[in-house]
A and B are shown apart, each in its own frame.
Chain A
Amino acid sequence: MGLFNKTTRAKTDDAGNSVGFLGRLSDRLAATRRGLGQRLATLIRGHSAVDADLAEDIEALLLGADVGIEATRDIIGRITRAQARTPDEFYAELRAALLAIIAPCAQPLTISSDIRPYVIMVAGVNGAGKTTTIGKLAHRLRSEGHSVMLAAGDTFRAAAVEQLQTWGERNGVPVMAQSTGADAAAVAHDAMQAATARAVDVLIIDTAGRLHTQTGLMDELRKIKRVIGRFDANAPHEVLLVLDAGIGQNALAQLAHFDSAVGVTGLCLTKLDGTAKGGILFAMAEKHAIPIRFIGVGEGIDDLRVFDAAQFVDAILPQPE
Chain B
Amino acid sequence: MFDNLSQRLQLAMKKLRGEARLTEQNISEALREVRMALLEADVALPVVKAFIDDVRARAVGKEVLASLSPGQAVIKVVYDALVALMGESNDRLQLAARPPAVILLAGLQGSGKTTTAAKLARFLRERERRSVLVASADVYRPAAIDQLRVLAGTVGATFFPSTAQQKPVDIARAAVEQAGKSGIDVVIIDTAGRLHVDREMMDEIQAIHAAVDPVETLFVVDSMTGQDAVNTAQSFNDALPLSGVILTKADGDARGGAALSVRRVTGKPIKFLGVGEKTEALEPFHPDRMASRILGMGDVLSLVEQAQQTVDQEQARKLAQKITKGKGFDLEDFRDQLRQMEKMGGIASLMDKLPGAGEIPEAAKAQMDDRQTRRLIAIINSMTPQERRFPDIIRGSRKRRIAAGSGVHVQEINRMLKQFGEMQKMMKRLGKGGLGKMMRSMRGKLPGVPF
Binding site for B on A (CB under 8 A): 13, 16-17, 21-22, 24-25, 28-29, 31-33, 60, 63-66, 68-69, 125-129, 135, 156-160, 162-163, 165-167, 180, 209, 211-216, 219, 244, 246-253, 256, 260, 271, 273-277, 279-280, 299
Contacts and interface: CB of A to CB of B under 8 A. Distances in A.
Given A28-B46, A126-B277, A246 B143 contact: no
Contacts of A167: 142
A215 B258 CA distance: 25
Interface residues of B, number: 68
7 contacts: A17-B53, A25-B46, A66-B42, A163-B142, A214-B348, A215-B348, A248-B42
A16 B249 CA distance: 35
A205 B277 CA distance: 21
Contacts of A180: 150
Given A159-B143, A166-B142, A253-B1, A24 B45 contact: no
B50 A246 contact: no
B109 A215 contact: no
Interface in B112-131: 112
B394 interface: no
B231 interface: yes
B147 A158 contact: yes
Contact of B49 (A28, A129, A216, A274): A28
B265 A25 contact: yes
A24 B22 CA distance: 24
Contacts of A250: 42, 224, 252-255
A253 B53 CA distance: 30
A68 B46 CA distance: 15
B227 A64 contact: yes
B224 A248 contact: yes
Contacts of A127: 109-112, 222, 249
Contacts of B46: 25, 28-29, 31-32
B370 A215 contact: yes
Nearest to B145: A159
Given A69-B40, A163-B143, A158 B151 contact: yes
Contacts of B258: 248
Nearest to A274: B195
A125 B149 CA distance: 23
Contacts of B252: 125, 211-213, 250
Interface string B238-269: 00000000000101111101100000110100
A157 B227 CA distance: 28
Nearest to B251: A211
Contact of B226 (A60, A66, A219, A256): A66
B19 interface: no
B39 interface: yes
A226 to B, nearest CB: 15
Contact of B249 (A125, A219, A273, A274): A125
B227 A65 contact: yes
Contact of A159 (B112, B150, B366): B150
Interface in B334-379: 346, 348-349, 352, 362, 366, 369-371
B188 to A, nearest CB: 15
Given A246-B108, A253-B1, A280 B142 contact: no
Given A159-B143, A159-B146, A274-B232, A247 B40 contact: no
A32 B254 contact: no
